[in-house]
A and B are shown apart, each in its own frame.
Chain A
Amino acid sequence: MQLTGAQALIKSLETEGVEVIFGLPGGAILPVYDPILDSSIRHILVRHEQGAGHAAEGYAQVTGRPGVAMVTSGPGATNIVTPLCNAYMDSTPLVVITGQVATGSIGTDAFQECDTTGITMSATKHNWLVSSADDIPRVIREAFHVATTGRPGPVLVDLPKDVSNSMMEWYWPSEIDLPGYRPPAGGDSASIREAARLISEASRPVIYAGGGVLKSRATAALAKLVEMTGIPVVTTLMARGSFPDNHPRCLGMPGMHGNYTAVTAIQRSDLLIAIGSRFDDRVTGKVAAFAPDAKVIHIDIDPAELGKVRRAEVPIAGDCRLVLEELITVLEETARQASPASRGDNPLAQWHAEIARWQARYPLTYDRQPPDGVLKPQYVVECIRDSVDDDTILVAGVGQHQMWASQYWRFNKPNTWVNSGGLGTMGFAVPAAIGAKVAKPEATVWAIDGDGCFQMTAQELITASAEGIPVKIAILNNAYLGMVRQWQEMFYAERYSEVYLSPDLPDYVRWAEAMGCVGFRVEAPEEVSSVIEKANEIDDRPVVIDFRTDVFEKVYPMVPAGASNDDIIVDPAHGEGGA
């Protein structure tokens, strides 16, 4: 069967099982937009290519399947660099197709030419410049393989216009020939036995679960490990929902804005079991002071993460799920062999009790009866949380509102939390929510966004209205680039520099309406629940709620950048921190 390169590309995507492409056409990708008309694949026309990338990320984060985006050369390609970086940092599988000028024009500064593979080299797991239409099926097969196996990540395929216009004989490669690409599978058995031994000897162990737990679909294995051992779990910003918040052993989020118990349990632990986590600086604070008494078991599919930041006593390179399953088997064997006397009472009882004391002494808190009756942002998050079920997907932007969302939501199911962790990309929420809703139309999708973030990518709500994607956006409108304002308040002697935005410029309600959404404004705490109820009832259009929240509210607890986690600053209501 003779096909054009463009047809071969679409057919390859169909063969890979792609159901939706987020994109925006232009000259160099024009040939590919023609066969899309005849394809079963749904194309969603975004209003800015950054939106296509983040929507593909939202899709990928809730399904675990690769998100696909397609854009033209030059500015189309550069506009999608931010999502590529974002997906690379958060190990999200993406396949991005970019048009390129014709092969003969490459290197001549042709109209809308840019060095896409060069620019995205360090923002992708791998990229390809296709030089012949015959290569298209092979390259697409390789692209999906690389994006989704090992440590997942974004890949990019750059397709010159003459290549998509030329003819090829259709085939589908039966094999993948990438001699330099061999991601690890299961871990080393001797190391896993050693890990089991450390676990049986530990008296203050903590599981430090990262995004890799979700990526490797290891949540059931993790739950089983905790049932067996009673080891408490912290879930990082990328791993919220990988272990249910309503489980008594779940301590919630560690790190710069983690809760006191999660942070302190790590600091006091004698064994830290890092699973699919990477000792990010937002978690460790000052590395030299991080979990000083802990031995470390580090399980990660990316060998380069082992020993990158913190040396592990037992490094295990392997898929988290496979390693955990083998670890569980080893622990079960050991338990069978153990004398009956050594079983029975809970060996971690003392540790659990100590943790319970911290939880009682330093819960997450905010002023629930503010004297002036202002609307607290945390209260808004709680009200939305309490109005929906556990399958609801929560998306966040980047800033204070993101931290409150992560802190105050209850994530009881995996893949219900979508956010920008490693790169911290403002403007992520609206397009990512769209991608999540497209992937899971049956789920309610709420986004908690900042006023600053919203202004960066709000135009994608036009996409949502046009395509019938009813997402719900709660803007925690504090009239500020709040997170930056918080740092200026705390670390720059309240010298506020370029952080004020205004509460009513723009008029978010009218803006929402102009984009085909329903817009609400909420100023008083009493109105919050009823407006959320109204929003939950709307299912035919996107909804935007402009919540006028307390301008001065800060995110607590906080470990200042570069400080030791022992120097955690708790909410002033708790008095001095430290136990």
Chain B
Amino acid sequence: MGSATIRHHLLSVLVENKAGVLARVANLFSRRGYNIFSLAVAPTDDERFSRITICVDVESAPLEQVVKQLDKLVNVVEITELDPTEAIEAELMLITLEADRESRSQVIQLVDVFDGRIVDVSPDSLTIMLAGTPSDLDHFEDLVGPYGIAGLQRTGRVALHKLDRSRGRLHTVSGIAASSGKASIK
């Protein structure tokens, strides 16, 4: 999953909070042959709705078609397109690394550099929680790979529009930031 070249686009999709909605969205993507890099779902501040943040491979289908087909789903209320250059993207990672007496201090240094937090410890491994841009997480993953990754889970990205400084006004896309990440498809 490279985030350097922009072949992805982010869709922030407000859906009715009803049974089976995630299945409908996932089904539509598979049925129409659209690729998803990641997908994150969480309830919003309004309990009637949930927010799905989908990272779409725009090389698998024109974005316009993806949006229009999604919009036809009866439970999809609103779709906001987030251009990666105009969005703040963030993702959370939990990673368990092999860290014995020799390597432990090096690993801890790297965690510090990336502003990560050690959330669990055993004699020969550490579990680290790291939040950041998806490319930060990729980078961290590459760096710690040689120590041995025993377990890894990423949430998939969530995103908000960058603030419009010129007008000093907030574009709010409610709920995304306040989410408790639930699903992750990598």
Contacts and interface: CB of A to CB of B under 8 A. Distances in A.
Interface residues of B, number: 22
Given A121-B23, A146-B74, A302-B72, A180 B65 contact: no
A179 B77 contact: yes
B19 interface: yes
A131 to B, nearest CB: 8
A117 interface: yes
Contact of A304 (B24, B69, B74): B69
A180 B24 contact: no
A104 interface: no
Query: Shortest 6 CB-CB distances between A and B: which pairs?
Result: A304-B68, A180-B77, A126-B74, A122-B31, A181-B74, A180-B76
Contacts of B27: 121-122
A132 B2 CA distance: 46
B65 A304 contact: yes
Interface in A108-132: 117-118, 121-122, 125-126, 129, 131
B23 A180 contact: no
A178 B27 CA distance: 21
Given A122-B31, A303-B68, A180 B73 contact: yes
Interface of A: 117-118, 121-122, 125-126, 129, 131, 146, 178-181, 302-304, 306-308
B112 interface: no
B43 to A, nearest CB: 16
A100 to B, nearest CB: 14
A125 B68 contact: no
B130 to A, nearest CB: 35
B68 A129 contact: no
27 contacts: A117-B20, A118-B23, A121-B23, A121-B24, A122-B28, A125-B74, A126-B74, A129-B19, A129-B20, A131-B19, A146-B74, A179-B16, A179-B77, A180-B15, A180-B16, A180-B73, A180-B75, A180-B76, A180-B77, A302-B72, A303-B68, A303-B71, A304-B65, A304-B72, A306-B68, A307-B62, A307-B65
Interface of B: 15-16, 19-20, 23-24, 27-28, 31, 62, 64-65, 68-69, 71-78
B172 to A, nearest CB: 18
A179 B74 CA distance: 8
Nearest to A303: B68
Nearest to B16: A180
B69 to A, nearest CB: 5
A357 to B, nearest CB: 40
A117 B24 CA distance: 10
B58 to A, nearest CB: 15
Nearest to A302: B72
A180 B20 contact: no
Given A121-B27, A304-B68, A304-B69, A180 B74 contact: yes
Contacts of A181: 74
A34 to B, nearest CB: 28
Residue from the set A118, A303, A304 with the largest chain B CB neighbour count within 10 Å: A304
A303 B15 CA distance: 19
Given A125-B74, A303-B71, 11 more contacts: A121-B24, A122-B27, A126-B74, A180-B16, A180-B74, A180-B77, A181-B74, A304-B65, A304-B68, A304-B71, A306-B68
